[in-house]
């Protein structure tokens, strides 16, 4: 399995691709008080499911909500899959898909917000979390790609 090697003061350490993800979230390790990326995407998916249940009563909300639901829940599924990646390339591929789905979720949330389909108090926290996930996934990808070299 591919491993990430870091050199610090002539001490060499190796990390599996999944370890890269757990340590990338805002520079904190998974042992800190913040949830890891896997748990964070599960909680995010649950919040989107709750929002969808509120949107499905409006015809436009149902259509936009369904698109958001597909993209947003795919983020967590791909992050989860990446943890079991068979190689660094597989890990990067799955995380790249998660990143793209997060970007797509930003789009659907913007439409829901701007079209005033959902309650602003329900949509804005999810928009904020989506933007944070985009940044975290981008950071994970940059680290994983740099470690290939």
Instruction: Give the integer Cα–Cα distance in Å for 5 and 114.
Output: 45
pLDDT above 70 (res 52): yes
Mean pLDDT lowest among 20-29, 52-61, 92-101: 20-29
Band (pLDDT 50/70/90 cuts) for residue 148 is: low
Instruction: Tell me if residue 14 falls in helix, strand or coil.
Output: strand
Query: Which residues constitute the domain of residue 123?
Result: 4-146
pLDDT at 66: 97
- Count of structural domains, the chain: 1
> Which one has a higher pLDDT value, 16 or 140?
140
The percent of residues above 90 in pLDDT, for the chain, comes to 72
pLDDT at 141: 96
Average pLDDT for 77-93: 94
User: Tokens 């409006």 label which residue?
Assistant: 58
Instruction: Give the integer Cα–Cα distance in Å for 131 and 134.
Output: 5
* Helix (H), strand (E) counts: the chain: 5, 2
14-51 confidence digits (pLDDT tens)? 344 545 554 444 333 344 456 799 999 999 999 999 99
- Find the CATH number of the domain harbouring 115: 1.20.1440.60
According to DSSP, the residues that pair with 14 across neighbouring strands are 5
- Mean of pLDDT over the chain: 83
């Amino acid at each position: 399995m591919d491993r990430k090697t870091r050199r610090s003061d002539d001490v060499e350490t190796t990390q599996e691709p999944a370890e890269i993800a757990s340590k990338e979230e805002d520079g904190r390790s998974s042992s800190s008080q913040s949830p890891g990326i896997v748990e964070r995407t599960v909680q995010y998916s649950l919040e989107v499911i709750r929002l969808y249940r509120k949107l499905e009563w409006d015809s436009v909300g149902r259509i936009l909500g369904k698109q958001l639901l597909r993209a947003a829940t795919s983020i967590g599924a791909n992050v989860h899959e990446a943890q079991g990646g068979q190689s660094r390339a597989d890990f990067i591929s799955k995380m790249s898909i998660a990143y793209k789905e997060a970007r797509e979720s930003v789009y659907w949330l913007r439409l829901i917000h701007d079209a005033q389909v959902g309650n602003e108090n329900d949509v804005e926290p999810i928009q904020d979390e989506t933007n944070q996930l985009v940044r975290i996934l981008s950071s994970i990808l940059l680290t994983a790609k740099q470690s290939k070299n």
